[in-house]
Amino acid sequence: MAESFGNQLRSAMAARGQLCVGIDPHPSLLREWGLDQDVVSLKRFSFTLLEAVADLVPAIKPQVALFERFGSAGFAVLEELLATAREAGVLTIADAKRGDIGSTMTAYAQAWLDEASPLAADAVTLSPYLGFESLRPALDLASEQGRGVFVLALTSNPEGPSVQHVGAADPEGSVAARIVRSAAEENTRAAKTGGGWGSTGLVIGATVGEALRSLQIDLGSLQGPILAPGFGAQGATAADLRAVFGAAYSQVLATSSRGIAVVGPESVALRAATQQALAELAA
């Protein structure tokens, strides 16, 4: 069996730190870089960022929707970006937030996690809101191929609590708590065969504040990585991350997208912003 994505990421974080740089070609960022809203600009933006940070960070996270808006040409840029990142030795997390049932979920899994797919990334984000077990095709394929998934658990968008906090007073806990527990069970099964971190991670927003405590969510049994968007431009500091995640902080891969990209397009500035963020997370 291939080494788990969790252990690959754990080793990369030990060597390079706890920062994941998001490659999010928002229209506003393209404008700030003096670029047009076209595929040529999409590629320039994406590859400039990758080349600036690939030797500094353990992982990058392309936001799939911002490539998808350019249609097949945008996906072609994403395919090339993922392949180039692989050659550069940086892990890739496709931020696709896929979730479905049956054969459709199997197809999504094959698209983002199968070695034969041109879109294959080292990990993909998934939405469990058709039921955690609906993700089974992706969970199993990730485990088989040494790839990973990050399952949305507790997000910091204003609408999130209307779903994720439901059931907080129930004996089994909130929806978010049940997702965390299911992910931990996946990694516990993986630990029986491989040890270390499993390939099932969680997405928990860096700005969720006291929600983990108020919902009585214990991350101690996860045995896997936590992807924490919201660091940097969205307002969360390294001190905030330590306060939110407590003893689980060492498992946190903080993501910064705009906070890094906004200083571009010059590579020197992008690298300096990345190094500053890494230092803050390590302090």
For the segment 239-246, the average pLDDT, to the nearest whole number, is: 95
For the segment 90-101, the average pLDDT, to the nearest whole number, is: 98
Per DSSP, the chain holds a count of helices (H) and strands (E) of 13, 8
43-67, pLDDT tens digit by residue? Answer: 999 999 999 999 999 999 999 999 9
Indicate if 43 belongs to the active site: no
DSSP state of 133: G
Q: Report the CATH number that the domain containing residue 252 is assigned in CATH.
A: 3.20.20.70
126-173, pLDDT tens digit by residue? Answer: 999 999 999 999 999 999 999 999 999 999 899 999 999 999 999 999
Task: Exactly one of 43, 61, 97, 192 is catalytic; name it.
Answer: 97
Is residue 256 scored above 80 in pLDDT? yes
Instruction: Give the 3-state secondary structure of residue 98.
Output: strand
174-185, pLDDT tens digit by residue? Answer: 999 999 999 999
Q: Quote the mean pLDDT of the chain.
A: 96
CA distance 26 to 196: 36
The whole-number pLDDT of residue 196 equals 86
Burial class of 89 by CB neighbour count within 10 A (0 to 12, 13 to 18, 19+): exposed
Counted domains in the chain: 1
68-87, pLDDT tens digit by residue? Answer: 999 999 999 999 999 999 99
DSSP bridge pairs for 133: none
Residue 61 belongs to what domain range?
A: 5-282
Is residue 194 scored above 80 in pLDDT? no
